[in-house]
Amino acid sequence: MSNRMILNETSYFGKGAIESIVPEFQQRGSSKAAVITDKGLIEHGIATKVTELLDNAGIDYVLYDGIVPNPTIQNVKDGVAFVKEAEADCLIAIGGGRQSIRQKPLGLF
C-alpha cells in the first residue's frame, strides 16, 4: 500500500525574497511560526532581519537554532520536539540548503 503526503511547501530565494515572508504567512492564515536557522546566522545578524520583520508585523514566533551539519536522528527529534512544544503551524527556514533541507523533517510530525 502506498502512502501520499502533501506538504504545503513554498520556497523563496534571491534578492528581495525576505519581503515575501510576512504576506505568505498571513495568506496561509498561520498563527505562530518556528524560525529555523543555525547559530552562525544568528551571530552574524542574518536571522535578525527576518525576526524584525515578524516583530514589526506582530507575528508570534519562536527561534530554533539547533540546525547542525550532518544531523543525527536525535538532532531531528530535538527539532521536532521544539516545534511541537511551541505549537508552531508555520516553519520559516533561514539559510541555504542545510537549513531548508533539515527543517523538512520537522514539518512531518
2 Cβ neighbours under 8 A, 6+ residues apart:
none
**Rounded to whole angstroms, how far apart are CA atoms 59 and 81?**
21
The structure's pTM equals: 0.79
Report DSSP state, residue 5. Answer: -
Q: Where are the domains positioned within the chain?
A: 18-108
The arrangement of secondary structure in 18-108, i.e. its CATH architecture, is 3-Layer(aba) Sandwich (3.40)
In this prediction, residues 81-101 reach a mean pLDDT of 80
Banded model confidence at residue 16, pLDDT cuts 50, 70, 90: confident
